[in-house]
Structure 1
């Protein structure tokens, strides 16, 4: 009996195999496939390769939770261009205005983060696992010292370094470890290494001086390390004396997704409050943020310090304490007072417009109580959280007023006017005299130069720290009660106008599109 071949069944099976192979091929060339990643329309997030990537509400804005992803970003960008993926569209997105986030030069989905330079102003390994970032000449005591900001394994507070400073006249002194207080039981810590400077050598220190570090007294010159020592104090009669700046702000390691408008707002409002200069430590930031910083750097307003940490995930908060220590010494003899803030924090006087007038009022108030204001090393400010605003329509407002209100809504310092009733005594920030402080913690004064120097706690009704972020129920904070606080609205016209002017200038420059 002859078997009948079922051609219909063979054709159907062939089509099924073809469809399966086609689907498999398409999935294999997509950079973030549906098998390895999940895309959520509501949450705008990718999960890929064990890393979570959040896509912001606007196309082109990406939040990378893992900062060690430069090489992966480049591969993803290449794959994205190769497969010509379209940018996600958000329904109902209004047309961009002049105060919206500055447009990117390209339409790539993934921002590439600028990796700090490994050569310029970065750590030098002066001994095994001991990395020096900077060195400063310190003559605030009867004897002079070289202070080296360094990162090394924890637990060396009472040990000799075994390292020696070799000066130009071949005088040699041994380095001493000083382990700072805020290392949070991490494997690596911020150390201040100190070398006594012979008096004959100290008299010749000026500007930037080369310093040789030897690993032992008998080490050969081939094993020496060379670092530069910065001398901020200018000699009297040298003809190069300059007047010290009044106020400065230090911003510890800056990283992650940052809206350029937030950065400009931070700088411009801080300038209205009285800051003359800013020092930014850049860890991983976007190209747009670097362009904003370089714009201010050309004006002499900002100093950019590339912050490439030699150890990863073994030191507290990306080496924040070391950055604070470096900035304190860097501003010594250059600026009278230095604030240490993040870009969502502002020290705001309640009744005075600037830090200068606020301090005059505070000193008069304290002097009347018998306080020696000349012995103040640090002013400490309690903090309050400012909640996300609930926008309401302005009643009986003119068209111009409504337009200005819409503009103000883009500024966190102007739109968020409800703060926590309670102020935190723990999450404080400080305004410090660099010449009077030996070690500064993140939220407190750790060690002053002289015993008679002290920290003055400023009452919130005089001035406080405005923290523009979601309330955090930790330590001594309560997030249940809020009050109206419109203190920053006194800056609204100047802040809006100054920010618009800066954004226009940024847009017109060749390196910012």
Structure 2
């Protein structure tokens, strides 16, 4: 009798031990493998940043400023990711060390007025490096946060990180979500254009170049400009604020919280990914250009027509070189303070370009339906959703003019006046803006 009881007891202990092991393994799996794409989450309601501000105990920091989460982890803004490319996720733009191993979590505080539904939802955040291939100390990154599986209304998200190397280092940052609805209708062939890394150096005090760039590309069909600003003069800022007031542009502060040389070209890859994600649910196509790059096309309907006729979700533009009318040896203050140079038209003066057109593997730029893309690089994209159509524009139809102060005398040139008509229309608008802002 005693032996049978001992046998039963041993069997019970074995079963209990196995059950406990299963529970532990399940918990470990859930901890280390956060859920990916969550189904049936209702995104039909519109997020309201105003409600989030009124319900917050303390004012939230601006979504347009870099903040330090923990040492070597910097975060910028939170956006809803494209359901087509990622499923139900929220992404946070970041800059981190290469191979950062911090453990991070996203918390969604409920904003419901119903007391029974007031609860926070926490999900494990996935930290991804957006490879720049420059092997610098810091790299563009993003946090991917799965959305809650239950439709708890929320207007903000908190990000908590703990450093694995120094467990006592823990940081928390809270973001407001964009006041928009993912299910909103996107106007077909509407275009957004991102500008950032080039808005420095000689362009930091060159209001005429900013005006010409905007007015010319508006003629081609660009609906909205997104300027990421670091350090610009009062005159340039006045121009940018004019376009913001008139609804033509949105301005973001891109002042990095560390020395710029510790990341490639002022965090350009992080900037591009933030801007393309920011525009993915509001505009059909998004592109990224520098202030010395102009789209030139023979299409009678401009850039919008080129995108429409290509029947592509991702259109690659090849580049050629054209001469910048401002001499290389002229000092920046001479260029910018001269009233004569306020009326120098870069694109309006183009009559010739280099015969050589760079191949598809070099110096290209692109416009794409950003909701269909996983990763945005400077010159190309990767990870397009199935069925996404891609093509390169024919240089004889659409080309990117890249202004250089001088063209080597050995470079062969060919006549190309395809930008003249749009430049002439833009010149009228440029004069009106300069007159309104007193830049005469």
Between the two structures, name the one with larger relative contact order (CA 8 Å, sep ≥ 6): 2
Q: Secondary structure at the match of 1:466?
A: strand
Gaps of 5+ in 2: 1-60, 110-118, 328-339
Name the structure 2 match of 1:356.
304
Matched, 1:149 2:99: no
Structure exhibiting the larger radius of gyration computed from Cα positions: 1
CA distances 1:57-78 after superposition (whole Å, capped 9, x unpaired): xxxxxxxxxxxxxxxxxxxxxx
Matched, 1:199 2:134: no
CA distances 1:142-183 after superposition (whole Å, capped 9, x unpaired): 741110100011123xx4x31111222322211112111225
Deviation at 1:242, TM superposition (A): 7.7
8 A Cα contact 1:137 1:231, kept in partner: no
TM-score (norm 1): 0.62
Deviation at 1:316, TM superposition (A): 0.3
Matched, 1:468 2:417: no
- 5 Å-filtered alignment, 1:106-505, equals 121-138=64-81, 139-141=83-85, 143-156=87-100, 159=101, 161-168=102-109, 169-201=119-151, 204=153, 209-215=155-161, 224-230=172-178, 232-235=180-183, 246-253=190-197, 254-258=199-203, 259-312=206-259, 313-363=261-311, 373=312, 376=313, 378-388=314-324, 410-425=344-359, 426-448=362-384, 450-470=385-405, 480-505=411-436
CA distances 1:436-473 after superposition (whole Å, capped 9, x unpaired): 1121110111332x143243111101201011224689
8 A Cα contact 1:385 1:470, kept in partner: no
Moved more, 349-358 or 431-440: 349-358
CA distance in structure 2 between the aligned counterparts of 1:362 and 1:308, rounded to whole angstroms: 37
8 A Cα contact 2:187 2:284, kept in partner: no
- 5 Å-filtered alignment, 1:2-17, equals none
Q: Secondary structure at the match of 2:236?
A: helix
Change (3 A) 1:408 1:172: closer
Deviation at 1:227, TM superposition (A): 2.0
Which 4+ residue blocks in structure 1 deviate beyond 4 angstroms?
A: 241-245, 388-391, 406-409
Number of residues paired by the alignment? Answer: 348
Change (3 A) 1:351 1:228: closer
Deviation at 1:279, TM superposition (A): 0.4
CA distance in structure 2 between the aligned counterparts of 1:301 and 1:245, rounded to whole angstroms: 17
Change (3 A) 1:502 1:129: same
Q: Secondary structure at the match of 2:432?
A: helix
Q: Secondary structure at the match of 2:364?
A: strand
Change (3 A) 1:180 1:418: same
8 A Cα contact 2:186 2:283, kept in partner: no
What is the Cα-based RMSD across aligned positions, in Å?
3.0
Name the structure 2 match of 1:40.
none
Gaps of 5+ in 1: 1-117, 364-372, 392-405
CA distance in structure 2 between the aligned counterparts of 1:231 and 1:296, rounded to whole angstroms: 21
